[in-house]
Amino acid sequence: MEQRSLAEVRALVKRHEKPARTGRKLGEEIFFRSLMNIASVLIVGVMGVILVSIFYKGISTFSWSMLTEDMGSGFYLNRGGGIKNAIVGSLYLSLSATLLALVVGLACALCMNVYMVKFPKLLNTARFLLDLIWGVPSIIYGAFGFSLMVFFGVKTSLLAGIITVALFILPIMIRAIDEVMKTVPTGLSESVLSMGSTRSELSYKVYVRQCFPGIVTAVLLAFGRAVGDAASVLYVTGENSKTPTSLLDNATTLPVAIYNQINSPYAATQDKAYASAFVLTLIILLISLLSRYISKRYQKYRIY
């Protein structure tokens, strides 16, 4: 074994040491770290102020009757009533639209990651187009749906809102599931196929199982976007002061109800908008917590 002198060892160690940070580099690091900290504090602070304002004003005007009574014809004119029909309408619309988008979105994501991997240019183009569609404002979907309804002579209804919102959240769900499926190791897919399994078996027995926590998170993310959106349903669901009992009935959603309450000429009705926002915020917070819980709960079923 070659023997090295102490001087040679010191020279070798010194050669591989990281260069000491100069005053300029240290100053840049402190500056950008401070900038990131300030940005983080501002974002958290603004969100905190909004949430505290909604909770404080919402609780002061909230009552149990708001959850158990329909709006009635004079709700926006300060004649009493609740928001039960808006809550039920939001849940009907969001759950149905999310389920419809999941059926299509999961199939598309599986097709992209199992079958289209042989055509990388086509796959990248599809992802690029989905990213573009994701950025389209929701009001465009509502205007497009309303134009189709006028063209075909269809009336506003809960069903029209479900289809419109499903189209709105579809690219979100596809890309979210796609990003999760991209984490599946290539070696795992090749091993499954080399054992004689078909691509259909690879899709549902490997990809769905491996990515199940991420799929659940994507579904709940899309549901959160659906339940909190007002612009895409403003023109297609109509207004209904009662709880809808059919897909062909008009329906009022919570975001639309909040918008109409804010625009009411009565101060008491405007104050009730904070109670409605309080309920909507609670729903979205519960969705976020449920997403985290389910994601951790089913993490153990992943194939490593």
Gyration radius of the chain's alpha carbons: 26
Same domain, 178 and 113: yes
Say if 288 falls within a structural domain: yes
Are residues 92 and 123 both part of a single domain?
yes
Q: Are residues 146 and 274 in the same domain?
A: yes
In this prediction, residue 169 carries a pLDDT of 92
d(CA 62, CA 152): 42
pLDDT at residue 1, as a whole number = 45
Model pLDDT, residue 102: 94
pLDDT by residue (tens digit) across 145-175?
A: 888 888 888 888 899 999 999 999 999 999 9
Task: Give pLDDT tens digits for 68-127.
Answer: 888 877 888 878 788 888 899 999 999 999 999 999 999 999 999 888 888 889 999 999
Low-confidence ranges of the chain (pLDDT < 50): 1
Q: Among the three residues 43, 61, 79, which one is the final residue of a domain in this structure?
A: 61
**Domain's final residue, options 46, 61, 76:** 61
Structural domain range at position 10 = 6-61
pLDDT at 5: 64
Domains of the chain: total: 2
pTM of the model: 0.80
Residues 48 and 68 in one domain: no
Does residue 1 sit within a domain? no
Domain check: are 57 and 68 in the same one? Answer: no
Q: Are 175 and 134 in contact (CB under 8 A)?
A: yes
pLDDT at position 177 = 92
Burial of 93 (0-12, 13-18, 19+ CB in 10 A): buried
Closest CA to 275 of 93, 89, 53: 53
Helices 84-110 and 212-227: angle between axes, nearest 10 degrees: 140
From 16, 31, 61, give the residue that closes a domain: 61
How many Å apart are CA 105 and CA 87, to the nearest integer? Answer: 26
Closest CA relative to residue 224, chosen from 246, 268, 254, 250: 254
